């Protein structure tokens, strides 16, 4: 059986009727950015089903515009923390109280290109606009859109977050809990128990303030600027503006998005660590920079942001890292003492990050680096299958198998290659 058919079968097996779970057992719900990437892959063979993925995600949107990181349409005992731990949230469907990197606008623009997509774009534009507005209103701190939880970044236990987590105290009244992730996966490759206690401490605080998002940003125990959220949102704002103009949206709507983009461009320098020559996470309250190159550092290309100097140094770091690993792009700097080739976001190659990085590099004229980032992931998939992430030294699959976004990225890339060949 071809990898293309295996990818389609993987997505079909993870289909739960209008939405796709990442993988059975470990992740039994609908995840925000997972669904966006799933739609990207499904659109290569079934546009109607891809569109259902997007509209089902939007069904979980809160009245304030936030689209949560997880939508709970059931209460699966195999997963923690499930809906009961998040308390009474504000959407029509139970959910988490935090969001995730907003790739949706970019995916919608990509899969609805051409006149035939106009109706679909019109169907979701207002919801996506409201979500972006929520980010800019509820999550802005010190002039940049920030994050209140490592889970919101999508990069749960990346060593970057230790700066903020180390300043936290575990809540004295934190209710007891039983982790479920370690029953599915070797605990050596998952976040530590102390990290989990602090993740749950943030959730505990959110519940205590009835998920008031502005208070969560201003008063919560964790507040950091994340290159992933920053660059993904900046790119998404630009794609949203392009759609707004194509749709003939009122000037006030376009002007608002233009203002968001200007704000994002101005904030890019806040993330620049000149000593490292990279965009890194930064603690908002102390100003402390992270000290490693992560797999979102190069998303400046994806967002078409940063100076020529910053991009050149970023590309130099990519070449340095490529000389240290057999498969690009590791989630954490292999020259860092915190690098662990198989521990979740401490080293493995992540398909959706390689997808965005390769796309940005190609768009900004770094064709050789783009090809390396893309081809290395393809080699890992060909060697090991559709895993959640991959060991950058061996190409071995890590964490969850039969993984949806990996299958989706493969399908998207193979579709693009086919189209390029036809052209």
- The pLDDT tens digits of the residues spanning 253-299 come to 999 999 999 999 999 999 999 999 999 999 999 999 999 999 999 99
The predicted-structure confidence for 83-96, as pLDDT tens digits, reads as follows 999 999 999 999 99
Element holding 272 (H helix, E strand)? strand 272-273
In whole angstroms, give the CA distance from residue 114 to residue 235: 20
Residue 419 has pLDDT above 60, yes or no: no
Percent of the chain scoring above 70 in pLDDT = 98
Average pLDDT, stretch 205-223? 98
In whole angstroms, give the CA distance from residue 132 to residue 232: 11
Residue 423 has pLDDT above 50, yes or no: no
Residue 40 has pLDDT above 70, yes or no: yes
Residue 400 has pLDDT above 80, yes or no: yes
> For the stretch 376-394, what's the b/e string if a residue is b when 16 or more beta carbons lie within 10 angstroms of its beta carbon?
bbbebbeebbbbbbbbbbb
DSSP 299-315: HHHHTT-S-HHHHHHHH
Nearest by Cα to 373 from 271, 279, 298: 298
Q: Confidence band (pLDDT; 50, 70, 90) for 389?
A: very high
Q: Which residues pair with 278 in a beta bridge?
A: 273
pLDDT at 418: 60
Q: Confidence band (pLDDT; 50, 70, 90) for 55?
A: very high
pTM comes to 0.97
Element holding 286 (H helix, E strand)? none
The packing angle between helices 351-363 and 32-42, to 10°, is: 60
Percent of the chain scoring above 90 in pLDDT = 93
The predicted-structure confidence for 325-338, as pLDDT tens digits, reads as follows 999 999 999 999 99
Residue 98 has pLDDT above 50, yes or no: yes
pLDDT at 41: 98
Average pLDDT, stretch 405-419? 87
- Judge whether 161 and 149 are in contact, CB under 8 Å: no
At 278, give phi and psi (nearest 5°).
-155, 155
pLDDT at 71: 98
Q: Confidence band (pLDDT; 50, 70, 90) for 124?
A: very high
pLDDT at 189: 77
- Judge whether 139 and 173 are in contact, CB under 8 Å: no
From the candidates 152, 340, 366, 388, give the one annotated as an active-site residue. 388
Residue 388 among the catalytic residues: yes
Greatest Cα pair distance, the chain, in angstroms, is 62
Residue 156 among the catalytic residues: yes
From the candidates 123, 137, 156, 246, give the one annotated as an active-site residue. 156
Average pLDDT, stretch 139-158? 98
Mean pLDDT estimate for the chain = 96
In whole angstroms, give the CA distance from residue 180 to residue 131: 30
Angle at 296 between CA 294 and CA 297, to 5 degrees: 70
Would you call 365 exposed, middle or buried from its count of C-beta atoms within 10 A (0-12, 13-18, 19+)?
exposed
pLDDT at 422: 40
In whole angstroms, give the CA distance from residue 159 to residue 280: 11
What's the CATH fold of domain 3-422?
Glycosyltransferase (1.50.10)
pLDDT at 420: 57
């Amino acid at each position: 059986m071809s990898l293309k058919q295996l990818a389609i079968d993987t997505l079909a097996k993870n289909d739960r009727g209008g939405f796709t779970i990442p993988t059975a057992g470990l992740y039994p719900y609908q995840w925000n950015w997972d669904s966006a990437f799933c739609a990207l892959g499904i659109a290569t063979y079934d546009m109607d089903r891809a569109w259902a993925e997007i509209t089902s995600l939007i069904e979980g949107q809160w009245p304030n515009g936030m689209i949560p990181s997880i939508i709970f349409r059931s209460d699966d005992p195999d997963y923690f923390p499930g809906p009961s731990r998040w308390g009474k949230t504000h959407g029509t469907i139970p959910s988490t109280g935090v969001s995730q990197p907003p790739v949706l606008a970019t995916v919608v623009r990509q899969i609805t290109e051409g006149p035939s997509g106009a109706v679909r774009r019109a169907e979701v534009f207002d919801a996506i606009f409201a979500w972006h507005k929520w980010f800019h209103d509820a999550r802005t701190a010190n002039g940049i859109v920030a994050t209140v939880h490592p889970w919101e970044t999508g990069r749960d236990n990346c060593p970057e977050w230790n700066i903020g987590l180390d300043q936290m105290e575990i809540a004295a009244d934190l209710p007891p809990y039983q982790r479920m992730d370690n029953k599915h996966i070797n605990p050596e490759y998952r976040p530590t128990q102390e990290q989990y206690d602090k993740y749950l401490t943030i959730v505990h605080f959110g519940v205590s303030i009835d998920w008031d998002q502005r208070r969560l940003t201003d008063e919560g125990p964790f507040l950091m600027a994340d290159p992933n959220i920053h660059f993904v949102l900046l790119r998404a704002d630009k794609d949203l503006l392009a759609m707004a103009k194509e749709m003939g949206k009122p000037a006030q709507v376009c002007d608002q998005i233009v203002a968001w983009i200007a704000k994002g461009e101005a904030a890019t320098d806040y993330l620049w660590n000149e000593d490292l020559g990279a965009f890194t996470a930064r603690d908002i309250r102390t100003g402390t920079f992270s000290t490693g190159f992560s797999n979102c550092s190069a998303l400046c290309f994806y967002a078409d942001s940063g100076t020529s100097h910053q991009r050149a140094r970023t590309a130099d770091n990519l070449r340095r890292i490529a000389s240290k690993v057999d498969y690009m792009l590791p989630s954490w700097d292999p020259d860092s003492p915190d690098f662990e080739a198989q521990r979740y976001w401490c080293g493995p190659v992540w398909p959706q990050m390689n997808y965005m990085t390769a796309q940005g590099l190609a768009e900004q004229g770094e064709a050789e680096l783009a090809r390396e980032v893309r081809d290395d992931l393809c080699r890992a998939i060909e060697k090991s299958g559709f895993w959640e992430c991959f060991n950058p030294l061996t190409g071995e699959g890590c964490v969850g198998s039969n993984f949806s976004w990996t299958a989706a990225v493969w399908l998207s890339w193979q579709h693009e290659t086919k189209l390029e060949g036809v052209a």
